[in-house]
Structure 1
């Protein structure tokens, strides 16, 4: 690559990011969040570096979101930001055909974190051996069982919770 073509490429890349930033400003994305949106887009582009941006399909987006969404510790709001960043990229900057064909609403719904007291989270295995949940409260029969046979009581509680028979019914 000669110097002239590398300069042209650098100019095109700079123009791409300037135009994307204008779209972020137009959609009232805060200055602080803009840098994150640009990082999310950059990570996506690096993931598909061998595929031209205009040729991306809904399958590319779905595969990427599925992979990213499975990362442990990814917060729902951050995943939602990634989806917004890529939606702005494809729908307003690149104006790609995959914008209309992709189910953005589905992915935004999946990005929402459940509240800590949501009933389905009570079924998490992590809560099974929480000491606060193992000690029976308000039931004299179970309290006696716990006092005389603490190990057996613990196995009983864990078994009920793991089998999905009940959520904190002790």
Structure 2
């Protein structure tokens, strides 16, 4: 590996190699069936409808509309309790439970929007659609992993609970 300066070791040598392009490898050529599969996927009616819904959501400048959400009273009391703690820690005014719920729902919907824009196959319906196109094209190696039977969540290693 060439060195710009004598005596470089460890991280400096790796950085120098990276900066000069040593060890630069070309991108792996795409799968021969990938472009055709992407085109079929992008032109599927369900994906076109999703794209229209995503575009409408991203470009919606309208004022928020009120919705009614049914919540168990105990959960609403828990939400209010946690908001009292959070607002006191942040030295800010306490938000109403409806404002906290509205923000939580908005955050969920924004995350859904961004996730589906970035990777429609993150939704099971579109993952199944993509995988069926891959199967039809005899390209199972391009299928996205799906987990029909997810493992139960386990607590983080080293956590106190």
Calculate the TM-score normalised by the size of structure 1: 0.23
Calculate the TM-score normalised by the size of structure 2: 0.24
Higher helix share: 1
